[in-house]
Amino acid sequence: MQEVSTDVLIVGAGGAGMYAAISAARQDASVLLLDKSLIGRGGATIMAQMTVAAALGQEEPDDCATHLKDTLEAGRGLCNEELSALLCFGGPERILEMQEWGTRWARAGERVRQEIAPGHSRKRCCYVDFLNTGPAVAATLRRKVSELAAIRRLSNIAVVDLVIKDGRAIGAVGLDLADGEFVVCHAKAIILAAGGLTKLYERNSASSNMGGEAYALALWAGAELIDMEFVQFFPIGHLAPRLVGMDPIMWDPFRYKLGGKLLNGDFVEFVDRYGAVDFGKYTATRDIAAYAILKEVEAGRGTPHGGAYLDFRHIPETQLRAAFGPVIDRLLTNGIDLTKTPVEVGPTAHYHMGGIRVNARMETCIQGLYAAGEAVGGANGANRLSGNAITEAFVFGARAGACAGEQVKTFSRNEDRKLAQVALDRIASLPPRSSKRGVAPIALQAELQNLMWEKAGPFRTGEKLSEAERQIREMLEQELSGLEIAGDGAFNMDLQDWFELRAMLTTAEAVVTSALSREESRGAHQREDYPNVDPLYLKNQVVTLKNGALISSWANPVRLCAGLPTRD
Ligand SMILES: Cc1cc2nc3c(=O)[nH]c(=O)nc-3n(C[C@H](O)[C@H](O)[C@H](O)COP(=O)(O)OP(=O)(O)OC[C@H]3O[C@@H](n4cnc5c(N)ncnc54)[C@H](O)[C@@H]3O)c2cc1C
pLDDT tens digits along 526-562: 999 999 999 999 999 999 999 999 999 999 999 987 6
Q: Mean of the per-residue pLDDT values for the chain?
A: 93
Inform me whether the pLDDT recorded for 277 exceeds 80: no
Does the Cβ of 393 fall within 6 Å of ligand 1? yes
Does the Cβ of 13 fall within 6 Å of ligand 1? yes
Query: Can you give the pTM of this predicted structure?
Result: 0.96
Structure confidence at residue 208 (pLDDT): 84
Cα 45 to middle of ligand 1, angstroms: 4
Cα 44 to middle of ligand 1, angstroms: 3
Confidence of residue 193 (pLDDT cuts 50, 70, 90): very high
pLDDT in tens, 461-478: 999 999 999 999 999 999
Mean pLDDT on 254-282: 84
Mean pLDDT on 292-318: 95
Structure confidence at residue 563 (pLDDT): 67
Name the CA radius of gyration of the chain, rounded.
23
Does the Cβ of 52 fall within 6 Å of ligand 1? yes
Does the Cβ of 312 fall within 6 Å of ligand 1? no
Cα 509 to middle of ligand 1, angstroms: 21
Inform me whether the pLDDT recorded for 568 exceeds 60: no
Cα 239 to middle of ligand 1, angstroms: 21
Does the Cβ of 87 fall within 6 Å of ligand 1? no
Structure confidence at residue 286 (pLDDT): 74
Does the Cβ of 206 fall within 6 Å of ligand 1? yes
Inform me whether the pLDDT recorded for 362 exceeds 70: yes
**Minimal-distance CA residue to ligand 1 atom 8:** 50
Does the Cβ of 232 fall within 6 Å of ligand 1? no
Ligand 1 atom closest to Cα of 53?
11
Does the Cβ of 44 fall within 6 Å of ligand 1? yes
Between CA 95 and CA 397 the distance in angstroms is: 13
**Minimal-distance CA residue to ligand 1 atom 37:** 194
Mean pLDDT on 396-413: 95
Cα 53 to middle of ligand 1, angstroms: 16
Cα 396 to middle of ligand 1, angstroms: 13
Structure confidence at residue 275 (pLDDT): 76
- The CB-side HSE value for 528 (13 A sphere, CA atoms) comes to 13
Confidence of residue 434 (pLDDT cuts 50, 70, 90): low
Structure confidence at residue 93 (pLDDT): 98
Does the Cβ of 14 fall within 6 Å of ligand 1? yes
Structure confidence at residue 400 (pLDDT): 98
Mean pLDDT on 96-123: 93
**Minimal-distance CA residue to ligand 1 atom 35:** 12
Between CA 208 and CA 42 the distance in angstroms is: 8
**Minimal-distance CA residue to ligand 1 atom 26:** 373
Tell me how long the chain is. Answer: 568
Confidence of residue 281 (pLDDT cuts 50, 70, 90): low
Structure confidence at residue 324 (pLDDT): 82
Burial 490-512 (b: 16+ CB within 10 A, else e): eebebbbbbbbbbbbbbbbbbbb
Structure confidence at residue 279 (pLDDT): 67
In terms of DSSP H, where are the helices of 8-132?
15-26, 64-74, 81-100
Does the Cβ of 355 fall within 6 Å of ligand 1? no
Confidence of residue 118 (pLDDT cuts 50, 70, 90): confident
Q: Higher model confidence: residue 444 or residue 207?
A: 444
Inform me whether the pLDDT recorded for 455 exceeds 60: yes
Which helix (H) or strand (E) covers residue 481, if one does? none
**Minimal-distance CA residue to ligand 1 atom 4:** 48
Does the Cβ of 12 fall within 6 Å of ligand 1? yes
Between CA 525 and CA 543 the distance in angstroms is: 16
User: For the ranges 114-128, 267-281, 421-435, which has the lowest average pLDDT?
Assistant: 267-281
Closest residue by Cα to residue 161 from 222, 110, 205: 222
User: For the ranges 6-10, 120-124, 216-220, 448-452, which has the lowest average pLDDT?
Assistant: 120-124
pLDDT in tens, 202-261: 999 988 889 999 999 999 999 999 999 999 999 999 999 998 878 888 888 788 778 889
Q: What percent of the chain has pLDDT over 70?
A: 97
- Mutation choice for ligand 1 from 197, 209, 399, CB with most ligand atoms inside 8 A: 209
| Angle separating helix axes 133-147 and 15-26, nearest 10 degrees | 30
- Expressed in angstroms, the distance from the first to the final Cα of the chain is 44
Mean pLDDT on 274-294: 77
- Beta strands (DSSP E) in 177-274 are 181-192, 225-226, 231-240, 261-263
**Minimal-distance CA residue to ligand 1 atom 46:** 43
Between CA 463 and CA 547 the distance in angstroms is: 26
Closest residue by Cα to residue 175 from 492, 484, 433, 481: 492
**Distance of alpha carbon 440 from the chain centroid:** 26
Ligand 1 atom closest to Cα of 50?
8
| Angle separating helix axes 493-517 and 441-456, nearest 10 degrees | 20
Inform me whether the pLDDT recorded for 436 exceeds 70: no
**Minimal-distance CA residue to ligand 1 atom 11:** 387
User: For the ranges 14-18, 94-98, 327-331, 339-343, which has the lowest average pLDDT?
Assistant: 327-331
Secondary structure of residue 373 in the 3-state scheme: helix
Between CA 200 and CA 501 the distance in angstroms is: 9
Ligand 1 atom closest to Cα of 499?
41
Ligand 1 atom closest to Cα of 198?
53
Does the Cβ of 45 fall within 6 Å of ligand 1? yes
Cα 207 to middle of ligand 1, angstroms: 8
Does the Cβ of 212 fall within 6 Å of ligand 1? no
Ligand 1 atom closest to Cα of 42?
49
Between CA 465 and CA 36 the distance in angstroms is: 31
Does the Cβ of 389 fall within 6 Å of ligand 1? yes
